[in-house]
Chains A and B, each alone.
Chain A
């Protein structure tokens, strides 16, 4: 069952669309982006339901990181519209960003600071008072099994621990949508499984909506919502089982090959 969501409606400034369904955590509508003559995203549209796990599958160069950079406002939006729980990121970026936690593909931790210092810094950037931030830090660290590394320098952590810390940091301000861009890249099988399990647990236990960008098929479950991005265009968006069935393929791997071989301009399962 989908989680129930209630949102503080910012009717006063009209930046939150009250008619917008609360069950939609992220809505990407007709987003295109170019680097000079090269088109990185072409009319990309999809939604992430609140409290769901949605995988964004694409090969390297598909445009996943560009999309993440636009959703998080690192890049400006050239065309289209993005709403996070109804907050337009162009018109109400602050409200949109505070609903969202992000784990970027490159590591964004400060290696010279300790685990706690990294969390406190992030909390301060969200206006969370130091006392409250300390409490939340201990809470999230114990949840990810790093409670005993509070004072450790981040550079002394393993790759998997750093990723878990980044996820903990992204959750510190209690977002309702979590974006993870290839969060398991460079990790061993065990660490990958742990991180994926942890994120799926967040969806099940805390009702957080997740957009999980990856190029690894084994990270996607049959019941997941899936968006396939290829050469900057959406080839398919549906439940994994539906995409496989519509492609008349054996499995997701075959369906993906079939869809991408026919090219971005060909008929896909995207409505």
Chain B
């Protein structure tokens, strides 16, 4: 018997196929998030602990003067809310990169990387998926914070969305870049110590930069160089319907740079090929 195998598919991929691929990756990321309820709860509990306990304790210690975008004196809880929103995205970005390391160790990552669609596009979709999850987390946090008298102007809930999308992409791309250099899951603990904590504390998330400058001009410079500071400020201004152009430029530039770096690192002729196959394989 002669078996005829034909392939009359047109070369390349249509726009609809690209869209289907993106939907699939976002859908899978969403499913994983739903299945990992602990991840959702901890993503919410972390900033709420800071808001309910840390901010309540420090509200009497740290006075906040009138600084843009605020037009009146504000409570400390109000000040740190944008920082906590960015913190959710920071943790989510690192969590996504942790899942990439896990996927690579467990082999799941190969399913993604052997897709015939361009690798840069696959990684971009993965970033989008992570960002979508982080934005949902932030809105869930804002909903709970509303009951704690954190009430930005109603339009702020809308104007903050593009800022959250951009900062989510930047932090996701940073996580992806970091994940490309991590060989084993165990090494990821170092990311907590050397990336998340320094980025969070050396920023304007918890205290305004003029306060930092009074205490340490050197730390002030470090904070200014920290892209997370600009993510926080971009979100802070957007939440009040305003724009911080410098932060937008820094976050936009860093997003592009981190994305290019991540895509370069996951290029088959570079990132993964340096390592050799996983244990047991040759």
Q: Chain B contacts of A93 at CB under 8 A? A: 116
Q: Is there contact, CB below 8 Å, between A35 and B276?
A: yes
Determine the distance from Cα of A6 to Cα of B5 in the docked complex, in whole angstroms. Answer: 7
Question: Which among A5, A61, A96, A123 is the interface contact of B24 at CB below 8 angstroms?
Answer: A123
A1 x B117 contact (CB < 8 A): no
Interface residues on A, range: 35 or more
The verdict on A13 contacting chain B, using a C-beta distance below 8 Å, is yes
Q: Which of B10, B20, B116, B280 contacts A130 (CB 8 A)?
A: B20
CA distance A113 to B11 in the complex (A): 31
CB proximity to A under 8 Å, residues B229-282? 267-270, 272-273, 276-278, 280-282
Q: For A96, list chain B residues within 8 Å (CB).
A: 116
Least Cβ–Cβ distance between A89 and chain B, in angstroms:
9
The answer to whether B5 and A208 touch across the interface, beta carbons within 8 angstroms, is: yes
Partner of B7, one of A6, A76, A77, A121: A6
Q: Is the CB of A112 within 8 A of B4?
A: no
Which of A5, A65, A108, A207 has the largest count of B CB atoms less than 10 A from its CB? A108
For B2, the chain A residues whose CB sits under 8 A away are: 1, 3-4
Is there an interface contact between A6 and B4, defined as CB atoms closer than 8 Å? yes
Q: Which of A94, A99, A120, A176 lies at the interface centre, i.e. has the most chain B CB atoms within 10 A of its CB?
A: A94
Determine the residue in chain A with the shortest Cβ distance to B277: A65
Given A207-B5, A208-B5, A129 contacting B282 (CB threshold 8 A): no
Contact assessment for A207 and B3 in the assembled complex, using a CB-CB cutoff below 8 Å = yes
**Cβ–Cβ contact A117 & B31, under 8 A:** yes
Chain A at the B interface: SS class: loop
Q: How far is the CB of A94 from chain B (nearest CB, A)?
A: 4
List CB contacts (< 8 Å) of A103-123 with chain B.
104-110, 112-113, 117, 120-123
Task: With both chains docked as a complex, state the minimum distance between the C-beta of A48 and any C-beta of chain B, in angstroms.
Answer: 14
A60 to B282, CA, bound (A): 7
The reply to whether B31 and A124 form a contact with Cβ atoms under 8 Å apart is no
Which one, A67-75, A137-145, A217-225, is touching chain B? A67-75
- Residues of A near B277 (CB, < 8 A) are 65-66, 69
Q: B269 near A77 (CB under 8 angstroms)?
A: yes
Given the complex of chains A and B, what is the CA–CA distance between A207 and B111 in angstroms? Answer: 24
**Residues of the A chain whose Cβ atoms lie less than 8 Å from the Cβ of B16:** 127, 129
Question: Is there an interface contact between A3 and B4, defined as CB atoms closer than 8 Å?
Answer: yes
Contacts of A98 in B (CB 8 A): 9, 116
Interface: A10 (CB within 8 A): yes
The complex places the Cα of A11 from the Cα of B111 at a distance, in Å, of 29
* Residue pair B106, A124 in contact (C-beta under 8 Å): no
Q: Is the CB of B114 within 8 A of A113?
A: no
Asked whether B11 lies within 8 Å of A8 as measured between CB atoms, the reply is yes
Q: B272 touching A74 by the CB < 8 A rule?
A: yes
Cβ–Cβ < 8 Å partners of B36 in chain A: 112
Which partner residue on chain B sits nearest A117 by CB separation? B31
Check if A3 sits within 8 Å of B3, measured CB to CB. yes
> Contact between A95 and B116 (Cβ–Cβ < 8 Å)?
yes
Q: Which residue of A lies closest to B36 (CB)?
A: A112
Nearest-CB residue, chain B, relative to A63? B282
- Is the CB–CB distance between A176 and B112 below 8 Å? no
Contact in complex: A124, B21 (CB < 8 Å): yes
Residues of chain A contacted by B162 (CB below 8 angstroms): none
A74 touches B21 (CB 8 A): no
Cβ–Cβ contact A109 & B32, under 8 A: no
Q: Which residues, 1 to 39 on B, are CB-close (under 8 Å) to A?
A: 1-14, 16-18, 20-21, 23-25, 27-28, 31-32, 35-36
Instruction: Let me know if A24 is at the binding interface, CB within 8 A.
Output: no
Bound complex: CA A117 to CA B5 (Å)? 28
Q: Does A40 contact B (CB under 8 A)?
A: yes
Contact in complex: A124, B20 (CB < 8 Å): yes
- A64, CB-defined interface residue at 8 Å: yes
State which of A50, A76, A95, A107 has its C-beta within 8 Å of the C-beta of B268. A76
Cβ of B72 under 8 Å from chain A:
no
CB distance from B59 to the nearest CB of A (A): 41
* A97 at the B interface (CB under 8 A): yes
Q: A74-B114, A124-B21 are in contact. Are A94 and B13 (CB under 8 A)?
A: yes
Q: What 13 new A-B contacts, CB under 8 Å, besides A102-B114, A106-B107, A204-B3?
A: A72-B114, A73-B114, A74-B273, A85-B7, A94-B12, A106-B106, A110-B111, A113-B32, A125-B25, A125-B115, A127-B18, A127-B21, A176-B7
Interface, chain A (partner B; CB < 8 A): 1, 3-8, 10, 12-13, 16, 35, 40, 50-51, 60-66, 69, 72-77, 85, 93-99, 102, 104-110, 112-113, 117, 120-130, 176, 181, 204-208
Residues of B in contact with A (beta carbons under 8 Å apart)? 1-14, 16-18, 20-21, 23-25, 27-28, 31-32, 35-36, 106-108, 110-118, 122, 267-270, 272-273, 276-278, 280-282
Q: Which 9 A-B pairs have the closest CB atoms?
A: A124-B24, A76-B269, A127-B17, A207-B3, A65-B281, A106-B107, A125-B115, A97-B116, A98-B116
Can you identify 17 A-B contacts, CB atoms within 8 angstroms? Answer: A3-B2, A40-B276, A66-B276, A72-B110, A77-B269, A97-B116, A98-B9, A99-B7, A108-B108, A110-B28, A117-B31, A124-B20, A125-B25, A127-B20, A181-B281, A204-B3, A207-B5
